[in-house]
Amino acid sequence: MNIISCPTCGRTEINIIGLAQEVERRLAHITEPITVAVMGCVVNGPGEAREAHVGIAGGRGVGLLFKQGEIVTKLSEAELADVLVKEVEEIVKKQKSEARSQKSE
């Protein structure tokens, strides 16, 4: 797994460091090739989040959830980690299921 996160700057309007650390900790068990973006602003965040399998781009106490390049929903800052982790785990589960299906063909 590859987590992309911004280094923070004056545009960051969520606790991006804490969020990135929590996401990294909660997804440490993931070994599949998946890219997760945890971005802290509306300037560069959407671009990075769109390029990842799944990602968030923070705003003023909120964040947009992106999946496969598309905006899925807008969430409160408090919801971001839980929803992002759930999305990653669902993607990995789907990847594993598809891999098993291909092996059995």
Q: Could you write out the DSSP letters of every residue in 25-54?
A: HHTTT--SS-EEEEE--TTTHHHHHHHSSE
Q: Is the dihedral of CA 66, 70, 71, 72 positive or negative?
A: negative
> Is this model's pTM higher than 0.85 or not?
yes
Confidence (pLDDT) at 42? 87
Over the stretch 33-87, which tens digit does the pLDDT of each residue have? 999 999 999 888 999 999 999 999 999 999 999 999 999 999 999 999 999 999 9
Q: Are 41 and 60 in contact (CB under 8 A)?
A: no
